[in-house]
Chains A and B, each alone.
Chain A
Amino acid sequence: MLSAKTPRRRFDLAQVGLAISVLLTCFISLCLIPQFKNPENLTNLIVRLTPLYSVALGQGLVMLVGAIDLSVGASISLVTAIASILMSRSIAEAIIMCCAAIFAISLFNGIFVGKLNFNPFIVTLSTMYVIKGITLYIRPQPGGVIPKNYIDLVLGRWNNIPIGPIFYLLFLVAIGWVVTYKTIYGRKMFAIGGEKKAAEYMGIDCSRYMIISYLLSGAFVLLTGLYMAARIGCGDPAVGEPYTLDSIGAAALGGTLLTGGKINPLGVLWGSLAFTLINNIFNLLGISIYYQYVFKGIIIVFVLAIPLLSTKMKEIVWGK
């Protein structure tokens, strides 16, 4: 019989394992690497964590409905390119243009995947190529000007604390939590990712919610792009590239299922933090970037294997 008490949430082993390893890594780095606890380095960590989490959260929301978005990286580059061209004239105009571009891209992805039932991988792969081409056309090399006052506004520092990025990060965590767990919209996305047909039979308009997912992800991509423009201070046709796969990796590491129906916004934060830490620590230790990739791959497989390993352990203890 069901008890009237609300039972405590069961811990997700992979998530607990991930959180512990991230905290342990932080602790060890604090003890062993002198530069790690430099205020400058900690600032750097936050400044780099924020955009990754922003993209990964959007990616996670798309993955939640069982789709994927490979065009996020290219879109970020496009936003920086547009900003670097238009911002010197008018910041508002540049932002409006970026909004329009990202809205069009997300709507296209959403309609093709959600309404017309094309394969999300193929659709977003195609948009990725198109966006990349356009970006290289309008800004073949890194360059352009991002106004100083805009940069100061976005990266706003107070006593060397990056309050701009910190606020944005907190905003993301809050919005991720509320959208996934507290809203009707979130519930419906879980259902669509869990079993699309059943969701449809419950009267949910699946295509509409899949389009909304892409639009939401687009909003996060837009914000990330505008943020990146400020961070690098120019437009760069390649700046977004790593974010495509890193966002999928961080979301998966955080317990988001590629098949849909599962996401944990805090898990995605841990995943993004793990990726950022790997980059940061390896850089501090002066280890080649090649090893960073190797390590990222290993950590994803290892963390996702934790539940499996634990069942095996249980089997050994309990007998098969």
Chain B
Amino acid sequence: MELLITEKISKRFPGVEALRDIDFACNAGEVHALVGENGAGKSTLAKILGGLITPSEGRIIFNGQQRIFRSPLEAWKDGIRVVPQETVLVPELSVAENLFLGREKFINRLSKFWMSYKKWFRLAHEVFQNFDLDLDPSLPVYSLPIAEQKWVQIAQAIIASPKLLVLDEPTASFSEPDVEKLFCIMRKLKEQDVGIVYISHRLDEVLAVADRVTVLKDGKKVGTYDRQQATPHDLVKLMIGRDLGDMFPPRRSKDAKVPALEVKGLTIKRAGIINTSFTLYEGEILGIGGLKGSGQDILLRALFGLMPWESGEIKLYDKKCKIKNPKQAIRNGIVLITEYREQEGLAPALSVRYNMALPNLSLWSRFGLINYRRETQSLLKTAKSLNLQAQSLEQPVWQLSGGNKQKIILGKWFLRSPRIWLLIEPTMGIDVGTKREIYFTLRALTDEAKHSIILVTTDTKELVGLCDRVIIMRQGKIVAEFSEGEITEENIVRAALGVTHA
């Protein structure tokens, strides 16, 4: 039975056509995936289904009735729940309060006036148990890692028992077991005849869970395919309209190994990192894998001077150095790029120029006065080398796609030519084409400029495809190291989960 049909949906923003004539359908009990590059219009379609924006033209037929949703509330009432890509929770409130937000009446049926935290926490706990999740309902949401915040959002949508569930990029921050759990839940929902629209960049996941796949490109529909018909390679081709070639750049054999960064006996008890040692060689990409929250990102933050450590030492090119704050780290040629692009990487309201120029102002200034012309020249050069897609240097950064934001963050450090790059999930939520550009850029940095990179990622393909050497962390400790020949998906997953060779 067709649960949802959209007919010739179009959406125009001033000057841009985000969607054009989209015919889309989702059956009850079906997982229908939407794929496409960033800016292809997937999220716009999701928002239209959820009533967050109204289409310029076209009809939506839901449950056999023609509907136009003018607000999220109208969509909710009809039984459509959208889990948007970005986190929309109240950070200061507890997990339980967020989970039942807007549903207090339902929860408080017994006691109409007083709210009982105890009861809420108990109910929330039951909900999470159903989903096989280990979350403390009393914690404030801001204290949770992104992946767990995502779970709260997903649970929030599912307990409303929707007829249609729209998941926009739910797994961007997930590690493998989380993804498995989500798929398990989705299969259960399918049995209950819930229709699911699933948006993702990860094509292997899409093919693992979806019944049908619809490909969007530049706001238009390319086609809808059965799962059996499609391979990841075909889908990529359809999404970008051309053959990408290899996703990852070729590795080049290294000559003599010069240690660039040596970490010895680093201990941060609070974060569970005890006596960790490793070496990063010049011109290599060292991958750090492991389940989310195994201490990888804390390790990098500590190296950037954001977390004081109790003992241990750091040597940069055989010279001992102390790093107590980001300023010292940057002076020593260490830079950090994190997955929180909009809070820790950019000032979203400011222009491309202001963001990219910031760490480099001294390069084109005299007596504290900025030479505007020289600044423009260098920034345009950098933007060009990165293939940055923006209207002008004065465009505010928030208007750009995730991939272009990441290019700006990379670009702002280019001119300083740092010796060591610390990257946490650099391609999270970025479309395939831009991902590939970033991989090639990183490889060029290590091969041509002799920079060294530490890459923390939960995307196993990245570890296998891009890294020269991989170490795996588990519960704050380094449990395995693989050099070039040994980096395989199997080895990595085994080590991350702590499964010994069978």
Contacts and interface: CB of A to CB of B under 8 A. Distances in A.
Interface of A: 1-4, 6-7, 9-10, 178, 182-185, 187-188, 190-191, 194-195, 197-205, 261-262, 314, 318-320
Given A197-B343, A202-B326, A202-B359, A185 B368 contact: yes
Nearest to B412: A202
Nearest to B352: A2
A4 B380 CA distance: 7
Contacts of A195: 342-343, 346-349
Given A187-B357, A201-B338, A262-B349, 5 more contacts: A184-B362, A201-B326, A202-B358, A202-B359, A205-B327
A138 to B, nearest CB: 38
B115 interface: no
24 contacts: A2-B384, A2-B388, A6-B376, A7-B394, A9-B394, A183-B368, A184-B362, A184-B370, A187-B361, A188-B361, A190-B354, A191-B347, A194-B347, A194-B349, A195-B346, A195-B348, A198-B343, A198-B346, A202-B330, A202-B358, A203-B329, A204-B358, A314-B14, A319-B12
B331 interface: yes
Contact of A201 (B344, B369, B372, B388): B344
A2 B354 CA distance: 15
A236 B68 CA distance: 64
Interface string B302-333: 00100000000000000000000011011100
A15 to B, nearest CB: 15
Which among A194, A200, A205, A314 has the highest number of chain B CB atoms within 10 Å?
A194
A183 B375 CA distance: 12
Given A2-B380, A9-B394, A182 B347 contact: no
Nearest to A262: B349
A114 to B, nearest CB: 15
Given A184-B365, A187-B357, A203-B331, A320 B326 contact: no
B383 interface: yes
B421 to A, nearest CB: 13
Given A184-B370, A203-B330, A3 B392 contact: yes
B327 A203 contact: yes
A319 B372 CA distance: 39
B393 A201 contact: no
Contacts of B80: none
B347 A2 contact: no
Contacts of B369: 178, 182-184
A182 to B, nearest CB: 5
Nearest to B350: A194
Interface residues of B, number: 46
B71 interface: no
A10 B361 contact: no
Contacts of A262: 349
Nearest to A3: B392
Interface string B347-391: 111100010011101100100111010001000100110001111
A266 B392 CA distance: 23
A1 B395 CA distance: 12
A2 B346 contact: no
B79 interface: no
Interface in B42-95: 53-54, 56
Contacts of A205: 327
Contacts of A183: 368-370
Contacts of A194: 347-350, 354
B140 interface: no
Contacts of A314: 14
Nearest to B375: A187
A178 B365 CA distance: 13
Interface string B14-56: 1000000000000000000000000000000000000001101
A320 B70 CA distance: 11
A182 B357 CA distance: 13
A14 B381 CA distance: 33
Given A2-B383, A261-B350, A198 B345 contact: yes
A49 to B, nearest CB: 28
A305 to B, nearest CB: 19
A83 to B, nearest CB: 32
Contacts of B199: none
A105 to B, nearest CB: 26
Sort A-B residue pairs by CB-CB distance and give the 3 closest, nearest first: A194-B347, A195-B347, A203-B330
Nearest to B354: A190
A198 B384 CA distance: 24
Which among A9, A197, A203, A318 has the highest number of chain B CB atoms within 10 Å?
A203
A153 to B, nearest CB: 30
B152 interface: no
A314 B12 CA distance: 12
Contacts of B350: 190-191, 194, 261
B336 interface: yes
B14 A318 contact: yes
